[in-house]
């Protein structure tokens, strides 16, 4: 595996790549890093050049000095492709990473051969959800990400069935979450909370797309996936039974299978 530290406007971005072939870029969600895609990257690297990204403020990437937006993440992705001499890639985004992938597709469509959206949304947060995120922001600002709060976050992120059968990956995930600086936690939370809707712009996309979600996701509702699939021309919708919000970890096998099919269809 090759690791790169890529300069962006106000931060360095850590990127991990393996394999050869057509580029497949993997963007994790809020408070996650490239490790969420470890199984998926391993399953794809035999056929494709997989590029696992730590979003700004996450994993090995630096924490910017000021707040940032989903648009900043999209600009980061373009810089990463430029640095790696990648003209176009299939971009896979989970949750916040999916929001960034959508913004990148709207901003620089020629850089994407395909778009895969996992447990994410093109909509702005609803008022009640914004209030919940603001309360969480206040809690973190006062006490940081303590053990109790990390367990609460994990319980919303992972389904009970996955927690019972895979406790070790969840413990590792919680450790990475608690290691994040308070400023990074708050910046990501605010970027998700304050993002605008891009639903009305989805019809302009002419990029092959796969939209995936789980039927029991408490964070990204199935209706949000259905809206994206309906608004994006020729998008395919794949909803998986059960599961929580952590689709790349809980449904890694189904995701690898779906990605192989999507890549075979779109990358000749």
> In this structure, what CATH number is given to the domain that contains residue 242?
3.40.50.1820
Count: domains in the chain? 1
Dihedral sign computed on CA atoms, order 20, 22, 27, 28: negative
DSSP 124: P
pLDDT of 1 > 90? The answer is no
For the segment 191-200, what is each residue's pLDDT rounded down to a tens digit?
999 999 999 9
Q: Which of 225, 259, 229 is nearest to 245 (CA)?
A: 225
What's the pLDDT band for 35 if we cut at 50, 70, 90? very high
Report yes or no on 169 lying in a domain: no
Residue 173 lies in a domain: no
Name, in order, each residue with C-beta under 8 angstroms of 117's C-beta and a sequence gap of 6 or more.
Answer: 93, 98, 101, 102, 209, 210, 211, 212, 225, 228
Interatomic CA distance for residues 121 and 199, integer angstroms: 9
Q: Cβ–Cβ contacts within 10 Å for residue 146, how many?
A: 12
* Parallel, antiparallel or unpaired: strands 112-118 and 236-240: unpaired
**pLDDT (tens digit, 9 = 90+) per residue, 232-255?**
998 999 999 987 999 999 999 999
DSSP symbol at 8: -
Print burial letters for 14-24: b (CB count within 10 Å at least 16), e (below 16): bbbbbbeebbb
- Residues spanned by the domain of 262: 2-123+197-266
Per DSSP, 215 falls in state T
Give the Cα separation of 158 and 55 in Å (integer): 21
Q: Is residue 256 part of a domain?
A: yes
Q: 167-179 and 147-157 are packed helices; what angle lies between their axes, rounded to 10 degrees? A: 130
Assigned domain for 150 exists: no
pLDDT tens for 125-181 read: 999 999 999 999 999 999 899 999 999 999 999 999 999 999 999 999 999 999 999
* In a domain? residue 231: yes
| Inside any domain, residue 178 | no
* pTM of the full structure: 0.97
**174 in a domain, yes or no?**
no
**Short-list 252, 226, 242, 256, CA closest to 169:** 252
Domain assignment present for residue 162? The answer is no
DSSP 123: S
């Amino acid at each position: 595996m090759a690791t790169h530290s890529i300069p962006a406007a106000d931060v360095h971005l850590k990127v991990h790549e393996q394999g050869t072939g057509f580029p497949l870029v993997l963007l994790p969600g809020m408070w996650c890093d490239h490790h969420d895609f470890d199984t998926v990257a391993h399953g794809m690297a035999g056929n494709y050049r997989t590029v696992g990204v730590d979003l700004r403020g996450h994993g090995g990437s630096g924490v910017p000095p000021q707040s940032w937006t989903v648009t900043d993440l999209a600009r980061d992705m373009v810089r990463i492709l430029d640095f790696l001499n990648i003209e176009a890639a299939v971009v896979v985004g989970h949750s916040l990473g999916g929001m960034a992938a959508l913004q990148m597709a709207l901003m620089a469509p020629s850089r994407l051969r395909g778009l895969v959206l996992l447990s994410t949304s093109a909509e702005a947060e609803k008022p009640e959800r914004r209030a919940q995120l603001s309360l969480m922001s206040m809690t973190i600002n006062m006490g940081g990400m303590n053990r109790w709060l990390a367990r609460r976050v994990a319980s919303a992120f992972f389904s009970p069935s996955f927690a019972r059968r895979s406790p070790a990956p969840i413990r590792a995930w919680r450790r990475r979450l608690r290691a994040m600086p308070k400023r990074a936690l708050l910046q990501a939370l605010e970027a998700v909370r304050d993002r605008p809707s891009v639903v009305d712009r989805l019809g302009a996309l002419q990029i092959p797309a796969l939209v995936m979600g789980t039927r029991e996701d408490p964070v990204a509702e199935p209706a949000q996936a259905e809206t994206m699939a309906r608004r994006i021309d020729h998008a395919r919708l794949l909803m998986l039974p059960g599961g929580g919000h952590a689709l790349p970890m809980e449904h890694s096998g189904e995701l690898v299978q779906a990605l192989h099919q999507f890549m075979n269809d779109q990358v000749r």
